[in-house]
């Protein structure tokens, strides 16, 4: 009887061992992903990194999305194209990975601002489809709701009645997500509710240990819209120092300098805009930007 019991125990142990041996590479990938996620949460992207990790068991797809996210933060034509490529590769590796569709959606949205596509409407439409796809795959995806809200706030015509509820839903789903607070701030900014946007940007900066430059210049932009130019310049200058090759940050820096009457500094920033994006056209840009912003850029020498 004892021998039979020992044989059963040995058989069970052998099954566990064989299973673990077969799964060892998957286990290694899972451990690696957990370590990277913990480091990302602590050092860079904050709590929203957990959303990136939970959507896939494919380590390579996960790493591609982390790399793509880094390229998005650089915010220029080349980095946006690289982010899009990496997102597409991640989708090929795991077609059910919500974060990959979300990143690809952001790259299409960026195409509009960077002027890299002939049809902004097609880019908006594609971005909307991809955000919605990511939400279908994960209906608790706070950041996707936030970006979709921002899309409605920027599309023509603007739809604040859709944008603001989506921005608020994102924060409700994940109050610890810096990105969700950032996007609610942007939705409020483009709805003309500048003062309400300030606490959202500040919360986003507090939640993200190393906030990307878009957090900084977004806060600066809202201060500028409120006429608080010194605060606007302070935050935009921080963004420039953090990412000197970002198209957006120099664009916003040119605007706030122009608004504050620092015309020479505004022209210097306009030159940086053209250095990074030589094909920038104010004529195309004004179709998706407010009059005060366009007037400031024209005053800075952009055409």
pLDDT tens, position by position, 65-90? 888 988 888 878 899 999 999 999 99
Domain assignment present for residue 81? The answer is no
Domain assignment present for residue 232? The answer is yes
Q: What is the pLDDT of residues 153-206, one digit of tens each?
A: 887 677 889 999 999 999 999 999 999 999 999 999 999 999 999 999 999 999
Domain assignment present for residue 103? The answer is no
- Give the pLDDT confidence score for residue 57 in this predicted structure: 85
- Give the pLDDT confidence score for residue 23 in this predicted structure: 59
**CB neighbour burial string for 120-156, b if at least 16 within 10 angstroms, e if fewer:** beebbebbbebbebbbebbeebbbbbbbbbbbbbbbe
Domain assignment present for residue 70? The answer is no
Low-confidence stretches of the chain (pLDDT beneath 50): 2, 4, 6, 8-10, 12-17, 19, 24-25, 29, 33, 39-44
CATH number at residue 287: 1.25.40.10
Domain assignment present for residue 258? The answer is yes
Domain assignment present for residue 59? The answer is no
Assess contact for 145 and 170: CB atoms under 8 A.
Answer: yes
Total number of domains constituting the chain: 1
- Give the pLDDT confidence score for residue 45 in this predicted structure: 53
Its pTM stands at 0.81
- Residue 223's closest CA among 239, 212, 236? 236
- Give the pLDDT confidence score for residue 39 in this predicted structure: 47
Domain with 240 in it: 212-303
Domain assignment present for residue 143? The answer is no
Alpha-carbon span 102 to 212, nearest angstrom: 18
Domain assignment present for residue 245? The answer is yes
- Give the pLDDT confidence score for residue 218 in this predicted structure: 95
C-alpha pair distances (Å), 160 with each of 168, 171, 182, 277: 12, 16, 16, 30
């Amino acid at each position: 009887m004892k021998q039979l019991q020992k044989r059963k125990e040995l058989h069970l142990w052998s099954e566990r061992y064989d299973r673990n041996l077969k799964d060892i590479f998957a286990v290694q990938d899972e451990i690696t992903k957990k370590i990277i996620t913990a480091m990302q949460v602590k050092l860079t992207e904050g709590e929203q990194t957990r959303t990136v990790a939970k959507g896939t068991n494919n380590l390579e797809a996960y790493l591609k999305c982390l790399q793509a996210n880094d390229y998005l933060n650089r915010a220029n034509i080349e980095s946006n194209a690289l982010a899009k490529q990496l997102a597409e590769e991640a989708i090929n590796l795991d077609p059910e990975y919500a974060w990959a569709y979300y990143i690809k959606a952001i790259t299409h949205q960026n195409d509009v601002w960077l002027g890299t596509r002939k049809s902004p409407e097609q880019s908006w439409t594609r971005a909307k489809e991809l955000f919605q796809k990511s939400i279908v795959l994960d209906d608790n995806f706070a950041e996707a709701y936030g970006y979709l809200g921002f899309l409605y706030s920027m599309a023509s015509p603007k739809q604040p009645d859709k944008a603001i509820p989506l921005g608020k839903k994102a924060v409700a789903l994940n109050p610890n997500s810096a990105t969700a607070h950032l996007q609610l701030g942007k939705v409020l900014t483009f709805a003309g509710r500048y003062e309400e946007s300030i606490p959202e940007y500040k919360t986003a900066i507090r939640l993200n240990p190393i906030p990307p430059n878009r957090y900084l210049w977004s806060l600066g932009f809202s201060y500028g819209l409120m006429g608080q130019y010194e605060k606007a310049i302070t935050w935009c200058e921080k963004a420039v120092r953090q990412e000197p090759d970002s198209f957006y940050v120099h664009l916003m820096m040119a605007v706030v300098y122009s608004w504050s009457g620092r015309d020479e500094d505004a022209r210097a920033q306009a030159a940086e805009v053209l250095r990074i994006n030589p094909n920038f056209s104010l004529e195309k840009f004004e179709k998706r930007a407010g009059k005060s912003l366009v007037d400031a850029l024209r005053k800075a020498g952009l055409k």
